[in-house]
């Protein structure tokens, strides 16, 4: 009852008095009560004051972990990640160390932007999730971590795919071809494989059309090779008509090359 009354008092006009109090035990109890009630802002204010007093103690461990949780619940993912990481470094043998390591990576995942923007946070999240799976291979969160990595890699793949198409639109044929080849190498299971093969066939044809005569044969032949690959790998592809048209145009061009 005394604690309830104290929290009620703090929730009105006397929170500043609690901030200035030298009774750290009472501050700790009140801070935890604020946390449990979801008043993360006021809980954080008290936690910040208590960090030094309880460092390297069980209560200090609890304060550091719940500080990270407070920031997470307030959608302050960058700061939350910092405190989760700090927790794993300060208390590596804690029962919450595994969860903190996952949450650190998850905060980076939540900071990953859409595919068109800079992907620094995406790479950071992938590295942290990979580190988590290596450190805790038996974790209950392992499958979740792998799912998150898959989503992040799909985002990186989408960004690379759009860059490839941008090179093509800019008529930078050599860069487009190299980019598409690297995309297939880096993402062998890409969902865009059919479109990539069609795009590469079309790029080689356009590249040949805009090449000096001595380079045309090689590039028309590469166009036909891409068409044949798509037709062989995807006999039911919706792009078959398009790719056959490109191949037929390339063959007619080859007939006229000495």
pLDDT digits (tens, 9 = 90+) for 66-103: 999 999 999 999 999 999 999 999 999 999 999 999 99
Reduced to 3 states (helix: H, G, I; strand: E, B; else coil), residue 86 is helix
Q: Average model confidence (pLDDT) for the chain?
A: 92
Confidence band (pLDDT; 50, 70, 90) for 61? very high
Q: What is the DSSP string of 12-72?
A: TT-HHHHHH---HHHHHHHHHHHHHHT-HHHHHHHHHHHTTTTTTSHHHHHHHHHHHHHHH
- Position 258 scores a pLDDT of 64
- Position 4 scores a pLDDT of 43
- Domain layout of the chain by residue ranges: 170-258
Residue 25 to residues 182, 183, 208: CA-CA distances in angstroms? 60, 58, 78
CATH class of the 170-258 domain in this structure: mainly alpha
- Position 256 scores a pLDDT of 86
Q: Stretch 127-132: mean pLDDT, rounded?
A: 97
Using one digit for the tens of pLDDT, what is the confidence trace for 15-47? 777 777 778 898 999 999 999 999 999 999 999
In which residue are the tokens 């056959």 written? 244
CB atoms within 10 A of CB 162: 11
pLDDT at 5 over 70: no
Q: Rounded CA gap, 90 and 80, in Å? A: 15
Q: Stretch 110-131: mean pLDDT, rounded?
A: 95
pTM: 0.81
Instruction: Answer for the pair 100, 65: CB distance below 8 angstroms, yes or no.
Output: yes
Q: Rounded CA gap, 57 and 193, in Å? A: 55
Residue 158 to residues 116, 164, 182, 183: CA-CA distances in angstroms? 9, 10, 13, 10
Helix axes 97-111, 77-90, angle to 10 degrees: 150
Q: What is the DSSP string of 210-252?
A: TS-HHHHHHHHHHHHHHHHHHHHH-TT-TTHHHHHHHHHHHHH
Helix axes 97-111, 142-169, angle to 10 degrees: 20
Q: Rounded CA gap, 242 and 239, in Å? A: 5
Using one digit for the tens of pLDDT, what is the confidence trace for 144-184? 999 999 999 999 999 999 999 999 999 999 999 999 999 99
Q: Stretch 110-135: mean pLDDT, rounded?
A: 95
Q: Which of 2-11, 126-135, 200-209 has the lowest mean pLDDT?
A: 2-11
**Percent of the chain residues past pLDDT 90, beyond the cut:** 84
Residue 140 to residues 103, 124, 136, 137, 144: CA-CA distances in angstroms? 13, 22, 9, 9, 8
């Amino acid at each position: 009852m005394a604690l309830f009354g104290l929290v009620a008092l703090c929730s009105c006009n006397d929170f500043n008095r609690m901030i200035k109090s030298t009774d750290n035990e009472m501050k700790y109890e009140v801070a935890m009560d604020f946390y449990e009630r979801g008043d993360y802002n006021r809980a954080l204010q008290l936690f910040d004051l208590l960090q030094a007093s309880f460092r390297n103690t069980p209560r200090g461990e609890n304060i550091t972990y719940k500080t990270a949780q407070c920031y997470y619940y307030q959608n302050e993912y960058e700061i939350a990640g910092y405190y989760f990481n700090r927790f794993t470094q300060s208390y590596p043998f804690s029962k919450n160390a595994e969860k903190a390591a996952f949450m650190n990576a998850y905060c980076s995942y939540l900071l990953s932007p859409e595919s068109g923007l800079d992907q620094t946070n995406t790479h950071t999240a992938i590295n942290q999730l990979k580190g988590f799976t290596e450190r805790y291979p038996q974790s209950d969160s392992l499958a979740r971590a792998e799912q998150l990595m898959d989503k992040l890699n799909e985002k990186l793949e989408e960004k690379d795919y759009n860059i490839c198409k941008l090179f093509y639109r800019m008529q930078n044929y050599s860069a487009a071809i190299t980019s598409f080849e690297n995309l297939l190498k880096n993402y062998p299971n890409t969902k865009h494989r059919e479109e990539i093969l069609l795009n590469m066939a079309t790029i080689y044809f356009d590249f040949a059309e805009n090449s000096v005569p001595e380079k045309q044969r090689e590039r028309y032949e590469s166009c036909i090779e891409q068409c044949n690959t798509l037709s062989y790998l995807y006999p039911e592809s919706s792009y078959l008509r398009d790719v056959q048209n490109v191949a037929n145009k390339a063959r007619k061009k080859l007939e006229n090359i000495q």
